[in-house]
Structure 1
Amino acid sequence: MTNEIMVSIECNSYNHEAFIAEALDSILMQKTNFAFEILIHDDASTDRTADIIRKYERQYPDIIKPIYQTENQYSQGIPFELLANERALGKYMAVCEGDDYWTDPEKLQIQVDYMERHPECSMCVHAAEKVSAVTKKTIAAVRPSYKNKVYSVEEVIEGGGELFATNSILYSRSRISEMPEYYLNATIGDYPLVICGALNGTVYYMDRNMAAYRVEVKGSWTDTQLCGISAKKKHLQDVENLLDEVNSYTHFKYDKVINRTKRRDRFYVLLKQLKIKETLKAGYRQFYVKPEFFRRIFKKITI
């Protein structure tokens, strides 16, 4: 086993007292033939999260490298990823938020092995499961394909922010060396990061479930940003702003899929508002016959 750090793991945490130990244990259980580091960023938690991290820091001082904020950085719009990148030593960057966890001890090794064999690959992702923080039960799978595959830029754009689980992401720091303006201006999670991966190489999906992505976490980004129609409309506008910037950045190479994605997203917000008459207008009707429409309707009925 080499002592040179191969993977830096970005772990952002805020008031994750109930979850942070499971997240860290799931990273520490990784069986690898390379060294890795855990870059924890505690964003001024008001519960016992920082105390728990300090306990792990004392136990694993060569692996766990925390930053303890005294003022909340998220509320000031400071991108956590930049803080992690500035101090990362690894060739690759993996992501595991403080309220998520990995379930397969071979996850990192499998992803790194693939990346090492395929230098054209900028990002490797995999299947995961959504687990309720309330019931602790699996409620859905994050499985965009039933086989391993390379995702095109168009598929990544149209797939949206929920195409892949955040804690499945492993990317090459040499291929994604600088974050573009569209990424720095975004306020919508990992969607711009995956787009960035697709624009700088190939995005490879492994159809192997190796992580658990928690939902229904009180105070989480999803909980605060996507509850209620007004929040969904704001999120829609944020996504449109991102896609417009990507469109400009790529010199409108993906204009067709970007505009189709924007119309699709507006269609589903109109449906949530029960504005059925508007969804029947030209430009929206096409989405009624898409497989995605029936999947979403079936999911609503069966939940």
Structure 2
Amino acid sequence: MAEMHCAFVTGGDGFVGSHVVRQLLARGVRVRALTHSGATATRPDLPDGVEWVTGDLLEPAGWREQMHGCDAVFHVAAFYSPRPADAPTMHAINVSGTRNVMQAAAASGVTRVVHTSTVGVVGRPADGSLPDENTPFNLWSTGSEYVRSKWLGEAAALLWTRRGLDVVVVQPTAPVGAGDTKPTATGQRFADFVAGRRPDYPTGGMNLCPVQDIAVGHILVAEQGQAGQRYILGHHEGNLSEGAFLALLSEVSGLPVPSAAQRSGGRRPSSLTADPGRAIEELGLPQSSLRAAFADAVATYRRIA
């Protein structure tokens, strides 16, 4: 796309979304960010200059006009919960909310939309090799309600390319770094470890990536990505087994690895590994220090504790 002057960001007060906002502001882009609960309470550390819009993804009348004049939309907002009772809310926000964003973007004449999906919707090859953007989704029966809702949301976003909207999808791996205070599912693993509990971890490993690299990746995709395509935003050294994850976390924090008897007791997904080569090679996705990102995350949870 041409030079970006104004961007509309949903979920601008979330973990990944707030880092996207920071990267946009650092580039001199005017930012309007949608928040559901009021960003001054959840992200008081964000730089000045953000034009906050309080609203609900399911009630677009309250925010869609704020897209007018924006070159790009970053739809980062999503709802995650492991509770079965929250499944209807996840589907409403992650699917219907996405449709509302796409419809508003099309009506506003936005040049490009970047839709934030998740590596969780990337299929798993039968031979155990690393999946990439071309691996078909095959997790409907085995994935979580969150995964199903995000897959449907991604499909809803890409459907708008047939209607002339320039949509590109990013599939971030597990974001790691400072400021994951809510926390995300990944952040909860760090919080558990710092609290002396053995975190639940995918049995087949997962890819972790510094959150600032994921944020920069969103902007690179907006600038260079191909319409209708997907880009995994991850780290080339980020595919870690449970043992490697715990060893690095112990080394960075100086804390012992909790025993299996001290496991936190959450659900263990099967595998969240991925091949991020496409975004690295085609877009120049940064590959910052994973160790430094771990240190930033540990510092966050030590402050909270």
> Which one has a larger percent strand, Structure 1 or Structure 2?
1
> After TM superposition, is the score higher than 0.5?
no
User: Which of the two has higher C-alpha Rg?
Assistant: 1
